[in-house]
Structure 1
Amino acid sequence: MARTKYDRVDSDSDSNDSETEDEGVLRTSGDVRQHDQETLATEEEAEKMLAGGEKAAPSGHNGRSRRQKRSRSGRRTEKRALMYQMEEGGPRSSSAESSGRSSEGNDSRVGEAHAGRKSKRWRSGGFVVVYVLTVLAFGGLLYGAWRLSTHGRSETTEGVQPDEPVAPPMASELPQADDKAADSRYTPQTLSNGTHKFAPTTILISLDGFRADFLHRNLTKTLTSFVRQGVSPKYMLPSFPSLTFPNHFTLVTGLHPESHGIVGNSFFDPVLQKEFHYTDPTRSMQPEWWDAEPIWVTAEKNGVKTGVHMWPGSEVTGGIEGVEASYVDKYNGDEKLDNKVRRILGWLDLPSALDMRGGEVADVERELRPQLIAAYVPDVDSDGHAYGPNSTYIKSTIAEVDGMLASLFDGISDRNLTDIVNIIIVSDHGMATTSVNRLIQLEDLVDISLIEHIDGWPLYGLRPWDSSPEKLQTIYNDILERSRLPKYKHAFEVYLRDTDMPERYHFSKNNRIAPLWLVPKAGWAIVKKEEFEFTLDTGDHAYHPRGLHGYDNQHPLMRAIFVARGPAFPHLPGSELAPFQNTEVYNIVCDSLGLEPVANNGTLRLPLKPSGVHDFDAPLEIPEDPQDDGGMALPPEVPNLAYQHDEAQSSLPPEVPNLANRPDLVLPTDGVPLVSSLISHRPLLHATATPAVGASQSATPTEAVSEAVRTRPVVHDGITDEEQDGDINRWWSWVTGKIEAIKVWSSGLWGASKVDAAEAEQPDKSS
């Protein structure tokens, strides 16, 4: 039978044309389209049911295109299903009705297959989600366990014994300054204590010679409380060499000594052909020595007033770079601790430019409140030298300094400034106990006739007359060979500045650093025969000073402190920082005042990032520092010597809180004559020392002692030979005072009842 144009169908629409023809029933293209629409509607309905009420397929051309594709896909699936039935011997339909039912059945199976595929995809996705969540949870558990196992420990001290040197944090391990970090830095604000406005204000206090573990002797109630309130590392590392002048200039410049040029307490400059000596202002307080910008110069350049109380380097004639602090207190070794408190509080009581109106500012410009106050406290260092860091006397000094801080904090609290001003307390280095059993004679190591200049002490920098590389190497080899002898084993190290000086010392890139160095181990000292005669095998003689520093800056006995509190440190109370080197302090102080620091070796910036909170119940790290002889130790039960902070014993006048401009509390030191001794008011007790070579054998004990003192190097960070004679008289006054103190202590020990009993027995004894 011939087909008409109505008999045309899509090539894919029907695979049973012959069967249709056999039945004699012809399907038009309209019938086919209707069939497709019904099939498509059935498929969409199935998809809606599977998707839980999913929205209908989009309309329009794209929707029709997709529906046509799905229709063709369904028909291809139907065709494959029919072929499968025929191959398996299944029934074949020979009628249109049967064909229709078969199509509906196949459409249903297509829907079921589609639903099965979707369900399988959902199940697969669910498995992936569960797997990812399981991995994340397991990783979280591992991280939590690691954090718990390392809580309270710094990476810089992991696995290091307390008595071994500890490597400082590398620069790569510290937060790096970049443009992104600058956006999140601390921004200081002007605050009010209720009566006065305070621009960003920071008090920086240095406790010279305050070793980190001094905090663990139950002597520092105030400082311990301060640690619990503020943010601090377990310790701060000094710079090498661990001496007063190099480290105090590092604290306020952020530079290693090789960079700022103050490479020791005494040293020779081959370019200037001059010697720097810290006890002589005419040789040390000249601008030519000071090649870096300290914090007070940075502040003054930016219009921020500063007050500096006896900080080493602050008295440079004409200022550093021609800039001086607004207020400078010259060094006075006899300054009482109470007066330091008055001075700081007096500066805080001065009016601020923020409180002035109109022309008032010009009238009192020289009396405005400083925003940076830097104060230096030498007592712990000077008494550590004189009596040793483990003596009973140093315990009383530590307690006295802690009492000074209590007075200061009370004054700050009375002025409602606890949360207004920043307080940063640091030290410059620690202290190690010396002994006659740990002495090395320089003449046994090197022929000193070959040496033109000897720098430093207790470490020695040697400048030979002939400094050619060949001669230097020869002297070095001779000393190195002697250092390997059994009696010098572990006693000292020898280095060539340009060859094997440890890189971590940062102590080679400056011609003020001598080319050859002898560095004793902590607790050892190198001495000249002319300075101190001794016999190692007798051990009869005490060695003075009793305490020394200047050793490897990473040694536990040289560790310093850093503790901070205030609006620039908005951390949880007792927050713990990883240990860092004191090159970081300059940046921290600058940020607390809103100043942009000049180039330096530091990397830390505010806000600081604590590693957690101190575990105050953890075992304490106490470095080994044996006291071989206890001749200088006072009886350990002398309570009178400890500083008692109460109204009865404090010599401070009553304070009036929130009262500005209190000149009666300020005791100016401008007229105080220069005193280059940190301990001119302390005894040196050298009565057991053997007279030095050249001393008169008929001299009195006092004269012999005085002669011995004159011939030994200066070690008290500020005492001159001319001032030593006066120390003997002061020493006798001190001894009589301590005898009286011990008498008082003894009477208190026995109790009033025993005293009364003794008095009652007195008549019987007299009779």
Structure 2
Amino acid sequence: MYKSILSLCIYLFFVLSNAVAQHKDTHYTVIVSLDAFRWDYPQMYHTPYLDQMAEEGVSATMLPSYPASTYPNHYTLATGLVPDHNGIINNSFWDTKNQRQFSMSNPSTRNNPYYYRGEPIWVTAQKQGVKTGNIYWVGSDIAIQNTYPTYYRVYAEKPRLTFEQRVDATLALLNKPEEERPRLVMLYFEEPDGVTHHHGPRSPEAGRIVFRMDSLVGMLRKGIASLPFAKDVNLIVTADHGMTEISTERVVNMNQYLKPEWCEMIDGRTPTSIFTKPAFRDSVYNTLKSVAHIKVWKKEEIPAELNYGTSEFVGDIVVAPELGWQFTDEPRRLKGAHGYFPQSPDMQVMFRACGPDFKKGYKSKGFVNVDIYPLLAQLLGIIPAQTDGEMERVQDLLQ
């Protein structure tokens, strides 16, 4: 027994020593998320800096995980786990065990580490001695595994940094003395999500906000270029999900089909989880399964390609509307929405990357956002946690 323990200790020593030796020689990486930046915005609108990144580095169309919404997918990007495995199955969901609703707008649940499963890349990195910096990425200001990034911003603190200040804050982290400098910086912007929710993805307002976000990418690139170690910095720019047009004319009113006495709780938007009373589960399913413009599944029958349905936060019945449709008792009076199937092009996102570790002028066939976690781990020279991501799907992006 003593020999086996000694052997294990020696093995772990060499593994960790190798990781430390690796990340001492690795480059710096900055990853930027532009919320709801569709894959085709560079074709639809003027994006000179993202176009330049495609010419000088790697471009791709990336699939989000289901559901294609902000909180689930930002945490997927950080953990490499699909929402069904990372705990954040939607922007809001019902917790039957604790009889409460998780909502990203409710501090008591939003800030509760209980809901954040898996291991974010900043936790993995810091366990292995790699400093990280974070500006407003989902989960970064929460004590997940009792750990925070080395440097981070609390999203609820006001005044929140302007977009330009966020770029400056990122550059300030990279300008720290070498021994204090983070090797990974994660930067989040709320747009073009907000504007395209209100005006739709095909609108003059969408074009203007896309151009502004592209200009911020240019500001960041210029700042990185001015660093004395600019040649050692990788830059990734991507997003969490896309956006599609909606209207109040494409609505399935749940109140026309569901009886109040059938359900314990109905929560979530695109998809909707219905927690039924046991005696009425089949009543709910049979009533909804023939309704036009929605897909309806029992939890255990959700199609495997969605990777959804094992979490305790997913309802007994799940309702997913067709692209551009709403299943609700209160239609959203907006012009854009998301949360739909990742296979829909409207939900897919732009990916750009350039720097010393990436190929030049390379167009990838595409991949899934769970693969970002192992990619970041490789760029940092650290040992990744076990995730749903596969490095093999993104290995071709690298030199």
TM-score by length of 1: 0.48
Q: Give the aligned residue type for 1:517.
A: V
Q: Give the aligned residue type for 1:438.
A: R
Tell me the residue number matched to 2:169. 343
Aligned counterpart in structure 2 of residue 582 of structure 1, from 329, 349, 369? 369
Is 1:375 aligned to residue 187 of structure 2?
A: yes
Q: CA deviation at 1:270?
A: 2.1
Give me the whole-angstrom Cα distance separating, in 1, the residues matched to 2:109 and 2:380: 33
Give me the whole-angstrom Cα distance separating, in 2, the residues matched to 1:467 and 1:567: 57
Is 1:328 aligned to residue 328 of structure 2?
A: no
Correspondence 1:349-364 to 2 at 5 A: 349-353=175-179
Q: CA deviation at 1:606?
A: 9.3
3-state DSSP class of the match of 2:192? Answer: helix
Give me the whole-angstrom Cα distance separating, in 1, the residues matched to 2:92 and 2:192: 21
Q: CA deviation at 1:610?
A: 5.4
Q: Give the aligned residue type for 2:196.
A: G
Q: Give the aligned residue type for 1:205.
A: V
Cα shift readout 1:485-530 (whole Å, capped 9, x = no counterpart): xxx3xx11111111x21110110111111110110111111231xx
Q: CA deviation at 1:258?
A: 1.2
Aligned counterpart in structure 1 of residue 325 of structure 2, from 516, 524, 534? 524
Is 1:399 aligned to residue 399 of structure 2?
A: no
Aligned counterpart in structure 2 of residue 555 of structure 1, from 344, 355, 361? 344
Q: Give the aligned residue type for 2:391.
A: L
Give me the whole-angstrom Cα distance separating, in 1, the residues matched to 2:224 and 2:172: 11
Give me the whole-angstrom Cα distance separating, in 2, the residues matched to 1:416 and 1:399: 28
Q: CA deviation at 1:215?
A: 1.3
Give me the whole-angstrom Cα distance separating, in 1, the residues matched to 2:47 and 2:168: 21
Is 1:386 aligned to residue 195 of structure 2?
A: no
Give me the whole-angstrom Cα distance separating, in 2, the residues matched to 1:267 and 1:566: 39
Is 1:275 aligned to residue 87 of structure 2?
A: no
Give me the whole-angstrom Cα distance separating, in 2, the residues matched to 1:587 and 1:424: 14
Give me the whole-angstrom Cα distance separating, in 2, the residues matched to 1:445 and 1:519: 15
Contact kept in structure 2, 1:236 and 1:579, CA below 8 Å: yes
Give me the whole-angstrom Cα distance separating, in 2, the residues matched to 1:527 and 1:387: 21
Q: Give the aligned residue type for 2:255.
A: E
Give me the whole-angstrom Cα distance separating, in 2, the residues matched to 1:517 and 1:411: 46
Q: Give the aligned residue type for 2:233.
A: V
Give me the whole-angstrom Cα distance separating, in 1, the residues matched to 2:199 and 2:46: 17
Contact kept in structure 2, 1:453 and 1:462, CA below 8 Å: yes
Unaligned ranges ≥5, structure 1: 1-184, 192-198, 354-367, 533-542, 612-767
Correspondence 1:174-323 to 2 at 5 A: 200-233=27-60, 235-316=61-142, 319-323=143-147
TM-score by length of 2: 0.90
Contact kept in structure 1, 2:45 and 2:207, CA below 8 Å: no
Q: CA deviation at 1:327?
A: 1.0
3-state DSSP class of the match of 2:376? Answer: helix
Give me the whole-angstrom Cα distance separating, in 2, the residues matched to 1:262 and 1:437: 30
Tell me the residue number matched to 1:426. 238
Cα shift readout 1:566-617 (whole Å, capped 9, x = no counterpart): 2222x2x221222111010000001000011000011125982259xxxxxx
Correspondence 1:371-520 to 2 at 5 A: 371-464=183-276, 466-468=277-279, 471-481=280-290, 483=291, 488=292, 491-498=293-300, 500-520=301-321
Contact kept in structure 2, 1:231 and 1:564, CA below 8 Å: yes
3-state DSSP class of the match of 2:391? Answer: coil
Give me the whole-angstrom Cα distance separating, in 1, the residues matched to 2:33 and 2:273: 27
Root-mean-square deviation over aligned CA pairs? 2.1
Contact kept in structure 2, 1:591 and 1:606, CA below 8 Å: no
Q: CA deviation at 1:188?
A: 5.9
Give me the whole-angstrom Cα distance separating, in 2, the residues matched to 1:285 and 1:209: 23
Give me the whole-angstrom Cα distance separating, in 2, the residues matched to 1:252 and 1:334: 22
Shift in alpha-carbon separation, 1:607–1:259, aligned structure 2, 3 A: closer
3-state DSSP class of the match of 1:212? Answer: coil
Tell me the residue number matched to 2:15. none
Contact kept in structure 2, 1:296 and 1:325, CA below 8 Å: yes
Q: Which has the higher helix share?
A: 1
3-state DSSP class of the match of 1:429? Answer: coil
Tell me the residue number matched to 2:7. none
Give me the whole-angstrom Cα distance separating, in 2, the residues matched to 1:583 and 1:438: 32
Tell me the residue number matched to 1:546. 335
3-state DSSP class of the match of 1:311? Answer: coil
Contact kept in structure 2, 1:592 and 1:606, CA below 8 Å: no
Contact kept in structure 1, 2:45 and 2:210, CA below 8 Å: no
Cα shift readout 1:621-647 (whole Å, capped 9, x = no counterpart): xxxxxxxxxxxxxxxxxxxxxxxxxxx
Shift in alpha-carbon separation, 1:506–1:302, aligned structure 2, 3 A: same
Q: CA deviation at 1:400?
A: 0.6
Contact kept in structure 2, 1:211 and 1:558, CA below 8 Å: yes
Higher RCO (C-alpha under 8 Å, 6+ residues apart): 2
Q: Give the aligned residue type for 1:432.
A: T
Contact kept in structure 1, 2:67 and 2:270, CA below 8 Å: no
Contact kept in structure 1, 2:371 and 2:393, CA below 8 Å: no
Q: Give the aligned residue type for 2:302.
A: M
Q: CA deviation at 1:417?
A: 4.0
3-state DSSP class of the match of 2:312? Answer: coil
Q: CA deviation at 1:545?
A: 1.7
How many percent of aligned residue pairs carry the same amino acid? 30
Q: Give the aligned residue type for 2:144.
A: I
Q: Give the aligned residue type for 1:346.
A: A
Q: CA deviation at 1:292?
A: 1.0
Task: Please tell me whether Structure 1 or Structure 2 has the larger radius of gyration of its CA atoms.
Answer: 1
Shift in alpha-carbon separation, 1:594–1:189, aligned structure 2, 3 A: closer
Contact kept in structure 1, 2:23 and 2:382, CA below 8 Å: no
3-state DSSP class of the match of 2:314? Answer: coil
Give me the whole-angstrom Cα distance separating, in 2, the residues matched to 1:546 and 1:263: 24
Shift in alpha-carbon separation, 1:550–1:448, aligned structure 2, 3 A: farther
Q: Which moved more, 1:376-385 or 1:334-343?
A: 334-343
Shift in alpha-carbon separation, 1:574–1:226, aligned structure 2, 3 A: same
Give me the whole-angstrom Cα distance separating, in 2, the residues matched to 1:555 and 1:607: 21
Contact kept in structure 2, 1:568 and 1:606, CA below 8 Å: no
Q: CA deviation at 1:237?
A: 0.4
Tell me the residue number matched to 2:11. none
3-state DSSP class of the match of 1:298? Answer: helix
Correspondence 1:6-155 to 2 at 5 A: none
Structure 1 runs, 4 residues or longer, greater than 6 Å off:
none
Shift in alpha-carbon separation, 1:238–1:300, aligned structure 2, 3 A: same
Cα shift readout 1:222-281 (whole Å, capped 9, x = no counterpart): 001101111132x10000011111111110111111111111111112223332111112
Give me the whole-angstrom Cα distance separating, in 2, the residues matched to 1:211 and 1:417: 32
Give me the whole-angstrom Cα distance separating, in 2, the residues matched to 1:248 and 1:610: 21
Tell me the residue number matched to 1:540. none
3-state DSSP class of the match of 2:211? Answer: helix
Shift in alpha-carbon separation, 1:495–1:420, aligned structure 2, 3 A: same
Give me the whole-angstrom Cα distance separating, in 2, the residues matched to 1:351 and 1:278: 35
Q: CA deviation at 1:445?
A: 2.6
3-state DSSP class of the match of 2:129? Answer: coil
3-state DSSP class of the match of 1:452? Answer: strand
Q: Give the aligned residue type for 1:273.
A: Q
Shift in alpha-carbon separation, 1:276–1:189, aligned structure 2, 3 A: closer
3-state DSSP class of the match of 1:304? Answer: coil
Give me the whole-angstrom Cα distance separating, in 2, the residues matched to 1:594 and 1:523: 42
Q: Give the aligned residue type for 1:253.
A: T
Shift in alpha-carbon separation, 1:188–1:396, aligned structure 2, 3 A: farther
